[in-house]
Amino acid sequence: MKTYTHTHLLLVALCTVALIALPGAPVQAAGDDHDDHAGHGHENEAKGAAPAADPHAGHGHDEEIDPTAFCKEHQLFEREDALCQAGLIAALQPGQGLKVRLASTEVAAKAGIKTAKPQSMSTAAGVMLTGRSEFNRNRLARLTAVGGGVVRRANGEVGQRVTKGELLAEIASPEGAAARGQHGSAVARLAQAEAAFAREKDLFGKGISSRLEFQQAEADLGAARSEAEQLRAQLAGYGVAESGGSQSRLRAPLAGVIVEKHVAVGDVVAPGTPLYTIADPESLWIALALPETRVGQAVVGASVEARFDGLPGSLFRGRIVSVGAALDERSRTLQAVAEIKNPGGKLKAGMFGQVKLLTAAAGESLVVPAAAVQSIDQGSYVFVRQAADLFEVRRVEVGAKEQGLVTILFGLAPHDEVVVAQGFALKSEVLKARLGASCADH
């Protein structure tokens, strides 16, 4: 190690003092060539130069907002633009909002953004029961072969929607062919009886024919008409047209979905063979089993609300439509059936869920799926669709959360179209704007 003498140290100290004493000499750390104030524009200030322009000037981020300022990029007044004034979101009160304009009308669809109206949920007390969904038997049809024969056509597959009267199958049926032949003969006899009656009526009017002959012709005409109508109904029962081919045609008796199909082209079927089952998925039944202590609360017309684990965020409402006459001897439960609306058919038959049998009258509250509520600065917000490319980020007051549904106490109306899927994508745009990625980046 190198040893410094007192003389060396004294020389260093004197040099240091001399440097400090020099007028106007800047003091810097040894080996540091950086000016701590470089780039801060002090030279410009000394020369009277104007300060650098603020890229966000005019957007009012740190100043009072000009009520007439308009953002040409978003086509919104800045006082209501969430991307230009993202800092105002935290100050919103429940029911107030700012708007978010997307780059185009296609952005929302490409991002998978979906909307739905809030659902109404009763605040009444009730009994919680386990229920099982099943097809509404008043909206279900089991189709069988009326006559035997060979299947020539078998349309549709399980899960496919059909309209009322749509052709499902054609069967070359001997019974149908025979019925068509009999109907044709009856129609010919009816035409003959009509001609005979017209002739006898004319003769009777001229006094040539007797009343007995006229009455006989009239009776023959009535019998011919009755026979033709009977055979026409038989022909329709076989599904055979009055004109054209003699094949038996099977058509959908109601609009719905094919839930069972037991036939293929080439099958030889006998009368009564099951071919199709069609059900209307828009209306389902919920089978309930009430304990003996609750049978007094099961009355026709009582309201129910059902939720299913497989469909979080969805609420189904309906009423009791039938109540059993006796308890099951083994389970000591009373069977009851509720009918619910199932828009879009998203609830499937055979699903188990929790059903609330309402027992008292009360008000209603709006609920939305939990995914619709976004948290910003510890506040609760939802995005409400205003147009294809315009959404409002709105502050709401929330209540209880239960089985994927959040109660909205204030801030929403029943007609509002709330974003229920990919709302986080809109939230991200707002958060980016707060970080400074404002107008130019949107």
Percent residues over pLDDT 90 in the chain: 31
Residue 327: DSSP 8-state: -
What does the pLDDT read at residue 86?
Answer: 80
What does the pLDDT read at residue 241?
Answer: 67
Instruction: Out of 112-116, 275-279, 292-296, 333-337, pick the least confident.
Output: 292-296
Dihedral through CA 411, CA 413, CA 417, CA 420, nearest 10?
A: 50
C-beta separation of 439 from 83 below 8 A: yes
What does the pLDDT read at residue 246?
Answer: 67
Residue 438 has pLDDT above 60, yes or no: no
pLDDT of 366-411, one tens digit each?
A: 889 999 999 998 899 999 999 999 999 999 988 888 778 898 888 8
Classify 157 as helix, strand or coil.
Answer: coil
The residue to which tokens 């033709």 are assigned: 228
Residue whose C-alpha is closest to residue 282's, from 341, 359, 213: 341
What does the pLDDT read at residue 63?
Answer: 53
Q: Which CATH number fits domain 70-119+365-441: 2.40.420.20, 3.40.50.2020, 3.40.50.450, 3.10.180.10?
A: 2.40.420.20
What does the pLDDT read at residue 280?
Answer: 95
The residue to which tokens 């209307």 are assigned: 280
C-beta separation of 277 from 258 below 8 A: yes
Calpha distance 340→304 (Å, rounded): 8
Dihedral through CA 332, CA 337, CA 338, CA 344, nearest 10?
A: 120
Q: In the chain, what is the straight-line distance between the N-terminal and C-terminal CA atoms, in Å?
A: 64
What does the pLDDT read at residue 146?
Answer: 82
Residue 168 has pLDDT above 70, yes or no: yes
Residue 422: DSSP 8-state: S
The pairing of beta strand 256-261 with beta strand 161-162:
antiparallel
pLDDT of 36-48, one tens digit each?
A: 444 444 444 444 4
pLDDT of 51-103, one tens digit each?
A: 444 444 444 444 566 778 888 888 888 888 888 888 888 889 888 999 999 88
At 34, the pLDDT band (50, 70, 90 cuts) reads very low
At 263, the pLDDT band (50, 70, 90 cuts) reads very high
Tell me whether residue 62 is exposed, middle or buried, using C-beta atoms within 10 angstroms of its C-beta: 0 to 12, 13 to 18, 19 or more.
Answer: exposed
What does the pLDDT read at residue 247?
Answer: 76
Residue 361 has pLDDT above 90, yes or no: no
89: Cα within 13 Å, side-chain hemisphere: 31
Residue 189 has pLDDT above 80, yes or no: yes
Interval 241-265 mean pLDDT: 84
Q: Which CATH number fits domain 124-136+280-362: 2.60.120.590, 3.30.565.10, 2.60.40.10, 2.40.30.170?
A: 2.40.30.170
Helix axes 211-238, 174-205, angle to 10 degrees: 160
Where does 205-347 show beta strands of DSSP type E? 248-251, 256-261, 268-269, 274-279, 283-291, 303-307, 316-323, 333-341
The residue to which tokens 């650098």 are assigned: 52
What does the pLDDT read at residue 19?
Answer: 33
Residue type, 3: T
211 versus 29: which is more confidently predicted?
A: 211
What does the pLDDT read at residue 30?
Answer: 37
At 142, the pLDDT band (50, 70, 90 cuts) reads very high
What does the pLDDT read at residue 310?
Answer: 86
Domain assignments of the chain as residue spans, ordered by start: 70-119+365-441, 124-136+280-362, 140-146+154-167+251-278, 174-246
240 versus 352: which is more confidently predicted?
A: 352
Q: Which CATH number fits domain 174-246: 1.20.1510, 3.40.30, 2.130.10, 1.10.287?
A: 1.10.287
